[in-house]
């Protein structure tokens, strides 16, 4: 899994390059994301390639959010998600994670949300 980071101002944008994030690759996703999470406080994950996510994948995204926010908000970072397919959105809604994450239709909308 190759993670590439594009910068838009001070916002890092990562297109998640897999069609699923599940128990088979969630750990690798976290390991690949770790250096990105250390280098930025503002991150957009573009999930347009992802067609399936299970509880391990949801946990990996929570890991990213926790790294950015820090203990009790100490880092002050944030994570926004964009480009979700309907199937992935349903998974987020089933476990109420759509209430934890800011979810946008496009990466441009997500990046723009950091300006406010």
What domains can you pick out in the chain, each with its CATH number? Answer: 5-113 (3.30.750.24)
pTM for this model (two decimals): 0.92
Alpha carbons 55 and 100: distance in angstroms, whole number: 15
Per-residue pLDDT of the chain (116 residues; tens, 9 = 90+): 888 999 999 999 999 999 999 999 999 999 999 999 999 999 999 999 999 999 999 999 999 999 999 876 678 899 999 999 999 999 999 999 999 999 999 999 999 999 87
Q: Report the candidate in 113, 98, 116 with the shortest Cα–Cα distance to residue 43.
A: 113
Which residue bears the tokens 């699923």? 20
Q: Give which of 21, 18, 14 is closest to 53, Cα–Cα.
A: 21
């Amino acid at each position: 899994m190759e993670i590439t980071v594009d910068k838009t101002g001070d916002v890092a944008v990562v297109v998640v390059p897999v069609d699923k994030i599940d128990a088979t690759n969630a750990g690798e996703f976290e390991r690949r994301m770790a250096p990105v999470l250390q280098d930025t406080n503002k991150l957009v994950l573009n999930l347009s390639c992802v067609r399936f996510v299970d509880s391990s994948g949801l946990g990996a995204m929570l890991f990213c959010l926790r790294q950015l926010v820090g203990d009790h908000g100490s880092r002050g970072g944030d994570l926004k998600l964009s480009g979700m397919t309907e199937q992935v959105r349903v998974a987020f809604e089933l476990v109420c994670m759509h209430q934890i994450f800011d979810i946008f239709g496009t990466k441009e909308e997500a990046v723009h949300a950091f300006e406010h």
